[in-house]
Amino acid sequence: MCQYSAERGEATDWHMIHLGSLALSGAGMLFIEATAVEPDGRITPADLGLWDDVTENALRPVMAAIRKYSKIPVTMQLAHAGRKASSHAPWDGGQLISVADGGWMTHAPSAVPHKPEETPPLALDTTSLLRVKEAFAASARRAARLGIDGLELHCAHGYLLHQFLSPLSNQRTDEYGGSRENRMRYPLEIFDAVRAAFPDDKPVGVRVSATDWVEGGWDIEDTIAFAGELKKRGVDWVDVSSGGVSPLQKISLEPGYQVPFAKAVKEATGVTTVAVGLITEPKHAEEIIESGQADYVAIARGVLYDARWPWHAAAELGASVQAPPQYWRSQPREQKHLFGDITIGQR
């Protein structure tokens, strides 16, 4: 989840502490937060970025620390906020920052604001489309140099690539607007560019919003079509979330409320899917996997609340996790196999 704790896009001591802690969580994979591919693509001025040598080098010691003490695979989300950029952090209200107050002009598929009272974004022209595409590819190359194990292209939550997909935000009349095929064109071009820029033996997944939760918006049938096109291009997984493109969305929240979308995508396309959305209990997560509704479960808020969630899940489900030897003596006596077959000496 976004930490809104970077400086000029650069990782800080917070990222060392935060990601270092999660690297020891016992999870199967660690996702670095949505990382902007260019300064204008940041949600807030404090977003993490990976667009030049400075931002790349700021992440290098964080990755080195993780590699020294953990074997966890590390994946990074690559993102561009589009018209939802230039915003305050959530704890500062989360609203658009005007240019007069230190923000910047945002860019989007069309000059349609996220909220009616906001300044309309600038519609991306041909030159800007090429610039953003190259920014995604360049960030993918930088991630590879950092030793990142996988990438996830952020096409969800109302950010730029989702804005192209949704008819609510994409009102273009060129080859990137109108029909569903045209609206999918630019996100697919970005995927192709990222896939070509990242090592062939490392995976690239995509996060999607399965539905806009607004009548006339992007919906699950559109998502299935998009996932099918991604499958043809060799996508390694589709991470199925929802919403974010419109303040008019109406969502009924309950544990696992987005899991049916992951199930629908998996059944229709055969693509490896990741389920998300208020999944906080280990038995619930296990049931999702065992029943075949999704191939993986991603935990976000639950792990921010409990950085050892995977340990506790393994203990509850009778499984084991990897843990550094410095922590081996912490396992409860009744869970003596939590960290696998280990031997602890004591003088």
Backbone angles phi, psi at 308, to 5 degrees: -110, 25
Q: Are 278 and 257 in contact (CB under 8 A)?
A: yes
If we measure between CA atoms, which residue out of 93, 10, 1 comes closest to residue 304? 1
Q: Which of 4, 159, 176, 186 is catalytic?
A: 159
Residue 4 appears among annotated catalytic residues: no
Q: Are 153 and 207 in contact (CB under 8 A)?
A: yes
Q: Are 202 and 238 in contact (CB under 8 A)?
A: no
The set of catalytic residues is 159
